Amino acid sequence: MYAALGIIKNSNHSGELIGAHQKIDKSARLLLGRVCSDSRKFPNIEEILYFEGSRGPDGLKRKSPGEDELEHFIQPDHDDGVLAKIISDHQANLTRALIAGDRVRASFEAAWMAHAITDGLTPAHHYPYRRVVDELMTDKDYLKLFGAKIKGIMRGENMLQAARNNWLYWGAGGVMTKHIAFEYGVAYMIAPFSLKRLWPIPYYKEDFQNPDCLKSFYASLDKVAALKMYDRFLKTGWTTQLVTETREILIPEIVRAVTLAWASSLHDARAARLIAKKGSNAKE
């Protein structure tokens, strides 16, 4: 999903005008305050957003193309478990940070987990992107300029093949062209909406009291995947029906999933503190 990475580098205002990740995080953090009584122990939105944009997962793609990149793609019908492992690790680390009262680490884990969940539920990330790119990168080495790797330029065994590969990637109807068109469309679509307008309706506080992070993510994934939004987008582009589904189903479902994931760490941290307190009282 679009996070306004290229607009304002290393700025606290990155994504303030148009940034889907930032808008979703803001909406989810506001909802968390409504459904969890101890949300004050959770990082505030300013702390969370510090680790978005160029300081978020997408920032790795600029700083070190092709190295240690977190590609949050998932094929619902052929899940390899990689994204689930990323989300699970962030959730466990977030819980530990909340227990320790480490707000900086908690902010980092909350932001990066939310980013992974948002990407995982974004229909454009359900496309077999890596397989297609590997097919287009006939020469697997990245193009370099003054020794620095440049991502997004397809290589070929000769100039003709390189031109063909780049057209299939960046040209009209190309893999990345379509991907960007979908994500930018979502970002612009939700930009004028209030944070509460992005909440799932209806929502019930009891659903957020003891959530299972991965179970909730996969439930949302099944709901979103069943709509086949990106398949339809590739055929027709943005339609009134797709716009309506994005506003009324997709984004509220993502906000719900992010809030549930954060709430799961709050619950686990709360439970751990109670156990520790009981153990301390028993010793006394």
Per residue in 211-255, pLDDT (tens digit) is 999 999 999 999 999 999 999 999 999 999 999 999 999 999 999
Task: Decide if pLDDT at 152 tops 80.
Answer: no
- Residue 244: C-alpha distances to residues 224, 229, 237, 250 (Å): 14, 11, 14, 9
The pTM of this model reads 0.85
| Whether residue 2 has pLDDT greater than 80 | no
Alpha carbon 263 to its chain's center: 17
For CA atoms 37, 38, 43, 48, the dihedral sign is negative
- How far apart CA 273 and CA 173 sit, in angstroms, is 53
Look over the chain and give the mean of its residue pLDDT values, rounded to a whole number: 86
Q: Cα–Cα distance between 4 and 16 in angstroms, integer?
A: 8
The pLDDT score that the predictor gives to residue 122 is 97
Rounded Cα–Cα distance for residues 260 and 238 (Å): 29
List Cβ neighbours of 63 (8 Å cut-off, separation of 6 or more): none
Helix axes 175-190, 159-170, angle to 10 degrees: 20
Residue 6 near residue 19, CB atoms below 8 Å: no
DSSP state of 247: I
